[in-house]
Chain A
Amino acid sequence: MSKVRVLVGTRKGAFILTSDGKRERWEVSGPHFAGWEIYHMKGSPADPNRLFASQSSGWFGQVIQRSSDGGKTWEAPGGGVTVSPGGMPKGESNKFVYDSSPETGRPLTTHQWYDGTQHPWEFKRVWHLEPSLDDPDTVYAGVEDAALFRSTDGGQTWQELAGLRGHGTGPKWQPGAGGMCLHTILLDPSNPQRMYIAISAAGAFRSDDGGKTWKPINRGLKSQYLPDPNAEVGFCVHRIAIHRSRPDVLFMQLHGGVLRTDNAGDLWKDISGGLPSDFGFPIDVHAHEPNTIYVVPINAEAGRCPPEGKLRVYRSRTGGNEWEPLTNGLPQRDCYVNVLRDAMAVDSLDSCGVYFGTTGGQVYASADAGDNWAPIVRDLPAVLSVEVQTLP
């Protein structure tokens, strides 16, 4: 019988929730890396027991952790104890250095700071890890200050794909409230050369040559804070989602707007009609219905909380503009949590499961595509990320 494994990153550690295909009874493992912020954990599609986790701390910086047994044990690749105290370390899984070499890199230029002045690029943390679709040793990392890194040795060493940071618009990128983060990485399953990333607050970008060169794909996006209606960058994209059967169609939760593109980002159209708020963070697509999408509307101005204190997932079965609230099992009064951008995921069982975590520490699951919800756990630290693996 199939199983699901839910990987939950929180402000104070990682948790792994497992269940059989019924998704009624859950085992909870954790906290792993107690006390550390776990911005993201994700499993390799090529080897589901290979997991990567981004472990960070404002005091002690960034560490990448790796598991080869589905999260039972972890190691920092290259970070183990050397045999001889005098020996040189074999590697550092926590070393993210922007590539400014003349051969492959770009000069470390500046980006826009909150006050409009220019500010140097400074590495802070890894927001998102995206394992390769076919190689368990290859994984991409989206970092703050915004840049894209890749490891081809299982997370031990990291190299920047500097063509993104250096492609030209960098000085116009600026941080959102959470920092200038590269938070979304999508790999096109039908074209290994094509990938998408998104940055707050710069926008969405596409590469058609495996990450070497990049172009902004923000036409059709609007922001009330940008004076230029045709701005190439400067958009606070919160999340992008893709369905593997239709990789040219993308769905976006923008700072203000839910949008869709049918041509790989060349043009976006608003599909937020009918939602109680066009603001929110996560967006995801049903595993088997590429036109069924999920968002969690949040009040933008009144504290970043669910409108009316009602926690509602909205589902569109028509690719947008027609939305239905999904409330059964979710709190419908006095609820003032948030759902962050990486904190929603779907499984691929026949009856698609949908999962999301809240800043109040709850992880909710629906085993019937959102019709009914129940909490798996209620009292974790604030949830930063949720990923799901469907296992044989």
Chain B
Amino acid sequence: MIRVVLPPHLRTLARVDGEVTLEIEGQVTQRSLLDALEACYPVLRGAIRDHVTQQRRPFVRFFACEQDLSHELPDAPLPDAVSTGAEPFLVVGAIAGG
């Protein structure tokens, strides 16, 4: 079971409280995690990654296990602690806003 923490704006959009949990078969990567997340919550398509290029939106960042994973390759394996559910994968709206 994969645990994902969404920022407040996206929790409101997806109508979820707290963490989101996902089941992913095979290797857990940014791409497979986001694919599974968007399949469960289609309204999030385009909100984290661009619809067409699939690139991370500029002000969105990914963290897990106290590491910034935003610039990791989409198909690189995520840390084991994320794959096992010991640690959540954090989607963060970067920089402050008024």
**Chain A residues engaging chain B, CB cutoff 8 angstroms:** 33-36, 57-63, 76, 78-82, 85-95, 97
Contacts and interface: CB of A to CB of B under 8 A. Distances in A.
Interface of B: 7-10, 12-13, 22-23, 36, 38-43, 45-48, 51-52, 57, 59-60, 93-94, 97
Contacts, number: 79
A356 B7 CA distance: 33
Given A36-B9, A57-B9, A60-B9, A80 B43 contact: yes
A95 B97 CA distance: 24
B70 to A, nearest CB: 13
A85 B32 CA distance: 12
A327 B59 CA distance: 43
B21 to A, nearest CB: 10
A91 B97 contact: no
A36 B48 CA distance: 15
Contacts of A85: 22-23, 36, 39-40
A76 B59 CA distance: 22
Contacts of A94: 43, 45-47, 51
The dominant DSSP class at the A interface is loop
Contacts of B39: 82, 85-89
A59 B59 contact: yes
Given A85-B36, A97-B52, A92 B93 contact: no
Contacts of B45: 79, 89, 92, 94-95
Nearest to A95: B51
A36 B22 CA distance: 26
B12 A33 contact: yes
Contacts of A95: 45-46, 51
B57 A79 contact: no
A91 B45 CA distance: 9
A89 B14 CA distance: 13
A35 B12 contact: yes
Given A82-B39, A88-B39, 10 more contacts: A58-B59, A59-B7, A59-B9, A59-B93, A59-B94, A60-B10, A81-B40, A81-B41, A91-B42, A94-B47
